[in-house]
Structure 1
Amino acid sequence: MPIKGASMSDKVETELEFKMGLEMLPLQFPKIDSWRSNPLSQAPPRSALFGDDRRTDPYQSSHLAIRLLSISVDNLHCLKTVISEGKSLHMYAPFGMLRAAIESSATVLWQLSPSRRKERVCRSLGLQYRDAKEERNAENVATARLHSSNQASSNRMRRIEGLAAAADLSEAELRQWVSTRTRQVREGGKHAQIGSQLTELTWQICSGMAHGQNWSTLSMLDRQEVASFGETVATYKLTANAMKIG
């Protein structure tokens, strides 16, 4: 049934309902605190990742992985803080944080899962290359807006291409490893406890909520009809559901 003029509420209606939902959230808050208080700083010497760093310097694979894991933990900790300390359960914001956490952690799994060093190096450089391309897109916008020129991204792309060549990777192969985020989440999810399909589905739902899509809104929020206008249009009150966030 189409929704028109829906009345939005970003709070769970009663304190009891909030507490019940919070208790059922499967988020493991103590683990999040532990991850945040014990951050990784570098690859252990003589580890496989340490060897990868030597072939991707100065764009070390370990630095990329640590940054992505930090993004994931940071978003989870923010969500935990809002819920457990702020006593607030918003409708859309939690899904944006969960989306970032899923995407970042799945990307690390995708980056580091291959057993062959060359493939891990290729994936790391591919991620760096995409980052530089997106920086160039931002530079182009800034150039048009500010009438200034910045060649930082182009210089970085050339340096990454040089590292790829040193790893016996052609430019065409490098571009092939500039993977889509969907592919990274899907393939990284194969190494997650919940598996590839559920990882990708959860990420898609969170992405839909982050972009305000109708299908995800109707799937993830509780609805209570407050008025109807004929047979096809109704007004609903939408509320967050802690169990669905979990």
Structure 2
Amino acid sequence: MVRVVRPGGDEAEANERLNWQMQVLRSMVAHDDRTGTPDIARPGSELAGDDRVTAPFHTSHLVHYALGVASDALRTTLLLMDDGTDIRVPMIGLYPLLRTVIEGSALATWLVAPDDRLERVKRTLETRLSDLIHDDKAVIVAATIEPSDNAAELSDKSKTLRENARRVRAEKRRLREHAARVGVELDLSGRPGFGPLLQAIAPVIGMSIGEVRGVWHFVSGLTHPSLSRAISMADVELKQPNGDGTVTATMSANLATVNLAIDAALLGYKTALETVGRRGGRDDLAWTDASLPVPPNFRRVWNDR
């Protein structure tokens, strides 16, 4: 069930927070429009130096794409919610977008956050390795041999698997050799998942591990068809009994939960812009807007920093 939230409402605090968040969303999207798609590694910057060490597996390519993913999802969130007059809040549809903002922002931050260059290089190479591992698995699954396959299909799939295996072996070897040349020991399983990754950047965001990783777990869970998670985090309204021992109920988004998820996405993206801008010599990449009103005192997740 889609809710339409108007400037007034029964859930006063959550409503006030949501209206403030919409102002921040519009401001961030306008900021992205102004900065465009800049070169995030200016000559002489630390990130440009990282690129020299990681080439041809450039750190800035990974970071730029991660920021782009987060920015696109943030922009789509605004398109979904803003109907010109009121605020549109779907029961579930926001959460996959906000999860994408959180994860894209987190990856960009994690890649460039360490002060130690070799640690940044290690993270870049392990991220490249993870991409390779996941791409390999996708090809293997897509080329699964079925009992109904004819001779031509079997031949095509076998050829695909052989060529993919050769390519993956060669790419893994390139990554290992590059790591050895620059003095980095790779974890051959690739980079950590988003849970440990968010835990690692919690100090950069300036919040506790429980807040940073915990919110991601909640938002991530709401992107899956989990009835228990949805019921625990949504508003459920019981209707009239049906007369047969059952009761009809409707489920809609809980505004406090929506506040929490949007706060996490906004703060994650803000942190990513600041961290990448500082490492890449692009302080103008950081978002700020002195014209915004003071944020309502409703959720600590934003941290109002």
Alignment: residue pair count: 235
TM-score of the aligned structures, taking structure 2 as reference length: 0.68
1:89 paired to 2:89: yes
Q: Which runs of 5+ in 2 are unaligned?
A: 146-155, 260-305
Residues 11 and 90, structure 1, Cα contact 8 Å, conserved in 2 = yes
1:155 paired to 2:147: no
TM-score of the aligned structures, taking structure 1 as reference length: 0.83
Secondary structure at 2:89's aligned position in 1? Answer: coil
Residues 67 and 108, structure 2, Cα contact 8 Å, conserved in 1 = yes
Distance 2:212 2:246 in 1: 34
1:55 paired to 2:48: no
Residues 2 and 89, structure 2, Cα contact 8 Å, conserved in 1 = yes
Residues 24 and 242, structure 1, Cα contact 8 Å, conserved in 2 = no
1:180 paired to 2:180: no
Distance 1:66 1:128 in 2: 14
Partner of residue 230 from structure 2, selected from 217, 226, 230? 217
Deviates more, 1:41-50 or 1:14-23: 14-23
Distance 1:181 1:13 in 2: 32
Q: How does 1:39-54 map to 2 (within 5 A)?
A: 39-54=37-52
Counterpart of 1:200 in structure 2: which amino acid?
Answer: R
Corresponding position of 1:138: 138
Residues 8 and 15, structure 2, Cα contact 8 Å, conserved in 1 = no
Secondary structure at 1:162's aligned position in 2? Answer: helix
Q: How does 1:225-240 map to 2 (within 5 A)?
A: 225-226=238-239, 235-240=248-253
Cα RMSD of the aligned pairs, angstroms, is 2.9
Larger radius of gyration: 2
Corresponding position of 1:4: none
Q: 1:227 to 1:200 in 2, by over 3 A?
A: farther
Q: Which runs of 5+ in 1 are unaligned?
A: 1-8
Residues 42 and 48, structure 2, Cα contact 8 Å, conserved in 1 = yes
How far residue 99 of structure 1 moved from its aligned partner, in angstroms, is 0.8
Deviates more, 1:146-155 or 1:37-46: 146-155
Query: Per-residue displacement from partner, 1:141-200 (whole Å, max 9, x unpaired)?
Result: 222266141434443322222211112234xx3326521221001112221144432121
Secondary structure at 2:88's aligned position in 1? Answer: coil
How far residue 233 of structure 1 moved from its aligned partner, in angstroms, is 7.3
Corresponding position of 2:30: 33
Q: 1:222 to 1:12 in 2, by over 3 A?
A: farther
Residues 54 and 125, structure 2, Cα contact 8 Å, conserved in 1 = yes
Deviates more, 1:220-229 or 1:77-86: 220-229
Distance 1:18 1:175 in 2: 53
Secondary structure at 2:130's aligned position in 1? Answer: helix
1:24 paired to 2:17: yes
Counterpart of 1:66 in structure 2: which amino acid?
Answer: H
Counterpart of 1:160 in structure 2: which amino acid?
Answer: L
Tell me the percent identity: 23
